[in-house]
Copies of this chain bind each other. A is one copy, B any other.
Amino acid sequence: MFKDIVKELDPLFNPRSVAHIGATNNLNKWGNSTITSLVQSFKGDIYPVNPHEDMILGLKVYRKVTDIPGPVDLAVFTIPAERVAAAMEECVQKGVKSAVIISAGFAETGAEGKRLQDEVLAIARKGNIRFIGPNCMGYWSASSSLAAFMMPLLVKPGPLAFVSQGGNVGAAIVVAGFERGVGFHRYVSCGGAADIQIEDYIEYFGRDPEVKVIMTYIEGLNDGKRFTEVVERVTKDKPVIIIKPGKTEAAAKAIRSHSGAMAGTDEIYDAAFKKMGALRVETPEEMLDVAIGFLTQPLPKGKNVAIITPGGSYGVLCADACEQGGLNVVKLPEETIRELDKMFPPRWSRQNPVDPAGDRNLIAYLTAPISLLELPTVDSLIFMGFGGFTLFGSLIFQQQARTKMNEEQQEKNSAILKATVPILEGIKSTDPVVRAASVKQFVAGVGVTLGVQNGIEVDKMTDLVIAARESGKIGDKLIDDFINLATGKIDGSKSRMAVINDLLNGFMNAVVSQWIMRYGKPVITTTFTEQQGTLVDDHYDYASGNRAARVLLQLTKYYQYLSRESGSA
């Protein structure tokens, strides 16, 4: 059966023409917001179907599906349940290939609804029409730029795939993903799953090379055994992240009313998910956090974590979160402590979490992680407040701009900036020797400004920046922006603040990518306040140490599962 899943579902996810049965101009009907969603996203042919209207959103309306002149790959249903069977019959006559039934009022409402649903299913089977739903919020397919939703939703293409038994939990996750800058290749609100089952979508996503991470929200399963078999197969290739509510009786009752599913015993689900290598998370927020973790980080080879923090209290909270989750805040060897003694002032924490206790030496901050990542006993690093340095940088600049700065000081600052221009030009040179020498000169200059005494530190930093430049992560654009800033020629569309922010972000993210690449270990960063991060160039800052710890825990679990399965652990 699974051999054909790709062939079976491909028409659904790659349609070239869509009929919308139930499109309407009535602003107070879902048929109106659904056609709006279609028109706004889909570039192929759209045929509204409605016996009582002539034009909808500038499109010609057809009385029946069989009146449509061209071929129809997909039918979208938003008409009342009682009329779906007859319309599905017409779809079979027309040779429609696939469908999504958004309409509610089927099995979830009782015996009569179940009868209607079975009738629709039988007709669709006869015509080889695979369908999503009923009683769902629709779906998204990036390959056809198709948003066949009950209402327009913010969604962007990307490497995630998601099937949700809850339409509004699903929609909220898709929109939250958009806001965080992460996209979906597929998203399906599966609703009553009369035809295509949750495990069918997971199997299909598993075979799609565009999909990197699979997510699912489940209230109950029609066939637990089949689900287990599929997921067990898929998790060997890709992570599968699951939300399964129903720990309490109140939730179990709500589930019976919502999806009609039997919630089952939570412990049984929990054990089953573990066995099949699926990763269970508690909230929509955590689901996206973990998915982004898989997109941006390598897997940690063990549970030993090192933490670096701009302040002691954040380190305390993060250490608590890590160890409560089962990670190990690893003890640092004496040698590493002596190494860090040379970089930080004597008041630094001298243990893990590494807290430089208010040291302002940015070079030390950005090279100390090397000493930690080099240790064979460290499997991963959490760098707290990393996404906040730019916040503070720009805050300070901003306030200084508002206050009357000593003129002499202003001239001095501007002279320092201008002196960097020939060095920056050197970094852009085609000659690798000139490039390397220029980076060295630049880093040394910054070191002098920061009062850095430690030559090893400067050498390490130079090395990092050269690698980041050679890898393309520090591109010409970034260097040109810096030159424009130094010479006072800022792009008119951007404020000085925005330029400084982007420069710092671009530079810092290039450094993180070097750490990750060199050591093959996760480096999870956080913002300073609770601000949600944005995924830019494979870099993402989490909103708290707590959330970073939970992500790391799931990456660790997945690695452990894979190791056990391959017998290498």
Interface residues of A in 385-407 (CB under 8 A from B): 385, 392, 395-396, 398-400, 402-406
Is A347 in contact with chain B by the CB < 8 A criterion?
yes
Do the beta carbons of A530 and B176 come within 8 Å of each other? Answer: yes
Q: Mark A154-181, 1 if CB is under 8 A from B, else 0.
A: 1000000000111111111101100100
A403 and B40 contact, CB distance less than 8 A: yes
CB <8 Å contact, A316 and B109: no
Give the CA-CA distance A408 to B285 in the complex, in Å.
43
Could you say how many copies of this chain the assembly holds? 2
Given contacts A258-B316, A312-B259, contact A402 B246 (CB under 8 A): no
A104 to chain B, nearest CB (A): 6
Binds B, one of A28-36, A85-93, A488-496: A28-36
Residues of chain B contacted by A171 (CB below 8 angstroms): 528
A29 to chain B: which residues have CB within 8 Å?
360
Let me know if A299 is at the binding interface, CB within 8 A.
no
Mask of A536-569 contacts with B, CB within 8 angstroms, 1/0: 0000000110100000000000000000000000
Report whether A347 and B530 are in contact in the complex, using a CB–CB cutoff of 8 Å: no
- One of B36, B254, B312, B323 near A351 (C-beta < 8 A): B254
Q: Is the CB of B530 within 8 A of A285?
A: yes
Asked if B449 contacts A154 (CB within 8 A), the reply is: no
What is the CA–CA distance of A105 and B346 in the complex, to the nearest angstrom?
9
- Complex Cα–Cα for A39 and B245 (A): 52
For A288, give the chain B residue with the smallest CB separation.
B530
Q: Is the CB of A217 within 8 A of B313?
A: yes
* Residues of B close to A195: CB separation below 8 A: none
Closest Cβ of chain B to A535, distance in Å, is 15
For A164, the closest partner residue in chain B by CB is B313
1/0 contact string of A176-219 vs chain B (CB within 8 Å): 10010000000000000000000000000000000000000101
1/0 contact trace for A293-310 toward B, CB 8 Å?
000000000000000011
Q: Are B313 and A399 in contact, with the CB atoms below 8 A?
A: no
**A9: Cβ under 8 A from any B Cβ:** no
For the complex, give the distance between the alpha carbons of A219 and B355 in Å.
16
- CB contact under 8 A between A165 and B313, given known A395-B151, A395-B152: yes
Return the chain B residue nearest A449 by Cβ. B28
Chain B residues near A150 (CB-CB < 8 A)? 358
The total of chain A residues at the interface (CB under 8 A) is: 108
Chain B: CB-nearest residue to A249: B323
Task: Give the segment of A52-60, A62-70, A230-238, A418-426 that binds chain B.
Answer: A52-60
Cα separation A169 to B543 with both chains bound (whole Å): 13
Chain B residues closer than 8 Å to A449, beta-carbon distance: 28
Of chain B, the residue at the smallest CB distance from A172 is: B529
Cβ of A357 within 8 Å of any chain B Cβ, yes or no, is yes
Whether A283 sits at the interface, judged by CB under 8 Å, is yes
Given contacts A105-B347, A247-B320, A323-B251, are A532 and B529 in contact (CB under 8 A)?
no
In the complex, what's the smallest C-beta–C-beta distance from A386 to chain B, in angstroms? 13
In the bound complex, CA of A360 to CA of B34 (Å): 13
Q: Which residues of B have CB within 8 Å of A246?
A: 316, 320
Quote the shortest CB–CB distance from A96 to chain B (angstroms).
24
Q: Is A430 an interface residue when CB atoms closer than 8 A count as contact? A: no
- A selection of 26 A-B contacts at a CB cut-off of 8 Å is A25-B406, A25-B409, A33-B396, A55-B406, A57-B405, A58-B406, A108-B347, A109-B346, A109-B347, A152-B395, A154-B395, A165-B313, A167-B313, A168-B385, A168-B528, A175-B528, A175-B529, A176-B531, A217-B313, A254-B319, A258-B315, A258-B316, A282-B546, A283-B544, A284-B544, A285-B544
| A-B pairs with lowest CB-CB distance, top 4 | A166-B313, A168-B311, A258-B312, A248-B323
